[in-house]
Homo-oligomer: A and B are copies of this chain.
Amino acid sequence: MTGAGRPAPAPAAAWRDFPPLALAPPLAGALQAFVELGYHGATIRDIARRAGLSVPGVYHHFPSKQHLLVALLDLTMDDLLTRSRQARAQGDGPVERFSRVVECLALFHMHRRDLGFIGASEMRSVAEPARSRIAATRTEQQRMVDDEVEEGCRRGLFRAPHPHEAARAVVTLCTALPQWWSPSGPQSAELVAREYVDFSLDLVRAAR
């Protein structure tokens, strides 16, 4: 499945490339239903209808409704972490690394808006032990921003009085993007992402 096609023509900015998301029908149906109704509000019949399947048709591919949610969240965090690591690896110095990770976070939460939305809103519906595992990857994502802010402060490039709080504010801004940004709105994802990099540089009081 993975590894087919795509000769990876521009690996330099693969983290900025968001091809149309191709999910298996049950996952795509579950994603839509969870976004509109929430995990508990969505029914298996709902999901099956959106997937163009019967109820047993869904259960043929996934053993339970809970597994659908976990699969979506795993897929989300895998993609986000991979992109963030690429984005950071490309940056030179804390300011550039910070800026690219923020841009990546913002782009992801707009181009993968639905995934980002349930990633932020449905964690409480995930049963253990999956919850702890996924929460750990979210912590790792947060720490990636934390580290750059702290390093920037140490080198005098940022002047945030409370680096940790500023980093949390930056991540919060990006993860909240799916709540209001829409592809049919007036602003493109790329424009907003640049704007949010500026916002984030303001929040950490980067030297201008």
Contact = CB atoms under 8 A, between A and B. Distances in A.
Interface residues of A, number: 29
A176 B172 contact: yes
Interface string A94-131: 00000000000000000000000000010011000000
B203 A199 contact: yes
Interface of A: 36-41, 121, 124-125, 161-162, 165-166, 168-169, 172-173, 175-176, 179-180, 192, 195-196, 198-199, 202-203, 205
A36 B198 CA distance: 35
Given A169-B199, A203-B203, A38 B40 contact: yes
In the assembly, how many copies of this chain are there? 2
Nearest to A176: B172
B173 A169 contact: yes
B166 A125 contact: no
Contacts of A198: 161
A205 B180 CA distance: 23
